[in-house]
Structure 1
Amino acid sequence: MGRLTALRREPSQKRSRERVERMVAAASELIAEQGSDAMRMGEVAERAEVSIGSLYQYFPDKGSIIRTLADRYNMAGRECIELELAPVHDEAGFRNAFGSLIDTYYQLFLDEPVMRDIWSATQADKQLHDIDLVYGRANGEILARTLKRVRPTADPQRIERAAFLAMSLGESTMRLAISVGREEGASLVAIYKDMVLSELLSAA
């Protein structure tokens, strides 16, 4: 799967790429401080030390900045999933790797205010929702490939659909878990892991 982009145009020179990185970093800081709803393009330009015209050259609106950040978080998550699941070849390894992935992902939601803000915005932004769906499918494919190694004789279509559903439900579980108290949230995540592992391994 190729990388998605919300940039109006891709920077070709090193100086332009560095300028875009300053813009994205400035937006991330502002979202962490005050949330994406309150962030203004002028503030991003000021903090990044670029002109507002330069900012608009690459980002046509605030939504495009948020979608760029969402893409980066999704890419990082995908790489983490691939790395964790790559060495898995048996059921015990799968249980350990999947559990570790979910725990890591939950901690990221707890630790990263920008990530929480972006995933909350996904509910109301169709383009963000579409990005979420694309990566959900891609992550489901990674999970399905792993399950096929663990259970090579299982029905491949059932594995693929169960894996896609597991990843989609994982996103919903994280959003729910961070909206309640820490103790209840951790319990919800633990229940999700038990339920999904049971279904995935029965599907496989």
Structure 2
Amino acid sequence: MQEKPPRVAAKGVAARRQPAQQRSRERLDRILEIAQRLIAEKGSEHVKMSEIAELAEISIGSLYQYFPDKRAIVQTLAGNYAAESRRCVREALEAVQTKAQLLDAFGALVDQYYEIVLDKPVMRDISSALRSDKALMSIEIAESKACGAMLATAIRRVTPRADSKRVNALAFLIWQLGEETMRLAVAHKRGEGALLVDAYKRMSLRAIEEA
């Protein structure tokens, strides 16, 4: 998952300027890189727009041309992570042809996601920011629906007689509970967090197997 995700605009607050020229794109990348680093270091609630502008070596007015407020920056970063997450899920589940393969693929995705969240503190802060802002919460819900839909498609592929409505509801619930589990896990010591993730994975795998 080292490939740089594309810049995406999620529904709601968004970046004001979509740069077309190379120099503008590079400036936007730098703004996001700096914001990401600051959020990882101190948490989004303690990061100021003026601080981002200073480190990016641009005026505050120029920064506002790209983002109307800090919420828009958080949204853009969340959208980028979501796009990369969907790519990984799609690649893992599209190749699934048997239930055994599906169980292996899902288990690997859970383990991979947990390691990434542990390795990138900025993702934890962004996740918390999304949950504390109702206007941004829709990003996470939309992501769970998108990834849940891919999981549901894989379940129906290996279990063609399964009830589609039940499978859709199950897949969405599994994915949304996964987000909640990751938040809970990183709030505990690593050993305790790993146990929580393992419990979630076992429950989910059992539900998928019985679908």
Q: Give structure 1 regions of 4+ aligned residues with deviation exceeding 6 angstroms.
A: none
Of 9, 32, 42, which residue of structure 2 is paired with 1:4? 9
Q: TM-score, normalised by structure 1?
A: 0.95
- Structure 1 match to 2:120: 112
Deviation at 1:128, TM superposition (A): 2.0
Aligned residues of 1:144 and 1:163 also touching (Cα < 8 A): yes
| CA distance in structure 2 between the aligned counterparts of 1:173 and 1:164, rounded to whole angstroms | 14
- Structure 2 match to 1:72: 80
Q: 1:46 aligned to 2:54?
A: yes
Q: 1:130 aligned to 2:138?
A: yes
Q: 1:197 aligned to 2:202?
A: no
| CA distance in structure 2 between the aligned counterparts of 1:49 and 1:85, rounded to whole angstroms | 43
Q: 1:56 aligned to 2:61?
A: no
Deviation at 1:9, TM superposition (A): 2.6
Of 157, 168, 179, which residue of structure 2 is paired with 1:171? 179
Deviation at 1:144, TM superposition (A): 0.6
| CA distance in structure 1 between the aligned counterparts of 2:65 and 2:51, rounded to whole angstroms | 16
**RMSD after superposition:** 1.1
Q: 1:145 aligned to 2:153?
A: yes
Deviation at 1:165, TM superposition (A): 0.4
- Structure 2 match to 1:188: 196
Residue pairs, 1:68-107, within 5 angstroms: 68-107=76-115
| CA distance in structure 2 between the aligned counterparts of 1:161 and 1:56, rounded to whole angstroms | 40
Q: Which runs of 5+ in 2 are unaligned?
A: 1-7
Q: Which runs of 5+ in 1 are unaligned?
A: none
Aligned residues of 2:103 and 2:209 also touching (Cα < 8 A): no
Deviation at 1:80, TM superposition (A): 0.9
Deviation at 1:4, TM superposition (A): 3.1
Deviation at 1:154, TM superposition (A): 1.1
Aligned residues of 2:156 and 2:167 also touching (Cα < 8 A): yes
